[in-house]
Amino acid sequence: MAARRLRVATRGSALARWQADHVAALLGDDVEIVVVSTLGDRDRTTSLDKLGGRGVFTKEVQEAVLDGRADLAVHSCKDLPSAPELQPDGLVIACVPERGDVRDALVGGRLDDLPPGARIATGAARRRAQLADLRPDLTFTDLRGNIETRLEKVPSGGAVVVANAALVRLGLEGRADEVLEPDRFLPQVGQGALAVECRGDDDETIERLRAVEHPTTRRAVDAERAWLATLGGGCDLPAAAHARVDGDGGVHLAALLASLDGRAVLRASADGDDPHEVGGRLGRSMLESGAVLLDDV
């Protein structure tokens, strides 16, 4: 019997469509794309923390899978809330394909070359805090919208910050003036990775998605998400983490907590074999160490 045609729920932006098409190509299947409008897409002016965090980009897409309009959903992994209580019942992350570029990019100028007081456009507290730590003279303005919209809003004499993976996937990597390395500027949890969800009782789809699972990426993402879940924070929390997995499967997790103004920055790292244990252990340690230092986190 021929396998059924899979229906893939996704947001409608160019980047989201690229991600859905990428997963379809990895599967080698002729899929049906089900485009879903999310609150985050419809409201491009309200800050993410006021809308409810990164989950505003995923809820309606997840509902399309839960109610049977689609068989699976493709998300930017960084948009999925990490806290278990925010994950919808009935869905599982069935696979995490091989990760793309984890780094952030500046468009408009190199960080060290920006003039004193230059304005940086970004909607992420994580990016603002780290930039303020590196360059206390910088000023900031909020930024929302898809990648194309953000690239149109580079402040005069300043820059915007975007995920470099988004530029690469849309063929816009030439727009980056500087790509910020993780040892200087930690990315968002799950940045550069995709997460594919389906119904937990859909054994056929789960089995088909196993073919595109990338175990190394899954271990890295699991460690980062476990760390963030331990903090109990969302996208408004100045928090960043990046996990690397060595050839033997060992996990090295580097993470950062910061005050909103970037004046207090706590960095730490942990190593181990179990990604969930490493993430949880580092999260608990950093909460204890930063309880007084980071009162406004």
pLDDT in tens, 64-78: 999 999 999 999 999
Mean pLDDT of 129-158: 94
Same domain, 27 and 92: yes
| Sign of the torsion formed by the C-alpha atoms of 182, 185, 190 and 194 | negative
CATH of the domain at 209: 3.40.190.10
Q: Does residue 123 fall inside a structural domain?
A: yes
Mean pLDDT of 82-98: 90
106 contact partners, CB below 8 Å, separation of at least 6: 159, 160, 161, 176, 177, 178, 179, 180
Q: Does residue 297 fall inside a structural domain?
A: no
Amino acid in position 267: R
Q: What percent of the chain has pLDDT over 70?
A: 89
Better-predicted residue by pLDDT, 145 or 242:
242
Domain tally for the chain?
3
Same domain, 128 and 79: no
Span of 16-25, 145-154, 234-243, 282-291 with lowest mean pLDDT: 234-243
What distance, in Å, lies between the first and last C-alpha atoms of the chain? 55
Same domain, 165 and 92: no
Q: Does residue 270 fall inside a structural domain?
A: yes
Look at residues 150, 129, 151 and name the one whose alpha carbon lies nearest to residue 140. Answer: 129
Mean pLDDT of 18-24: 95
- pTM value > 0.85: yes
Same domain, 204 and 84: yes
Same domain, 46 and 172: no
Look at residues 184, 200, 266 and name the one whose alpha carbon lies nearest to residue 227. Answer: 266
Q: Does residue 28 fall inside a structural domain?
A: yes
Count of residues for the chain? 297
Same domain, 14 and 92: yes
Which of these is catalytic: 67, 71, 79, 271?
Answer: 79
- Distance between CA atoms of 83 and 144, rounded to whole angstroms? 24
Same domain, 115 and 256: no
What are the φ/ψ torsions at residue 253 (nearest 5 degrees)?
Answer: -115, 120
Does residue 2 have a pLDDT over 70? no
pLDDT value at residue 20:
95
What are the φ/ψ torsions at residue 196 (nearest 5 degrees)?
Answer: -110, 120
Same domain, 254 and 205: no
Domain that holds residue 275: 225-290
Does residue 44 have a pLDDT over 90? no
Q: Does residue 116 fall inside a structural domain?
A: yes
pLDDT value at residue 297:
43
Our answer to whether residue 89 is catalytic in this structure is no
Same domain, 113 and 157: yes
Does residue 1 have a pLDDT over 60? no
Same domain, 93 and 204: yes
- The confidence band for 252, taking pLDDT boundaries of 50, 70 and 90, is very high
**Summary mean pLDDT of the chain:** 89
Does residue 48 have a pLDDT over 90? no
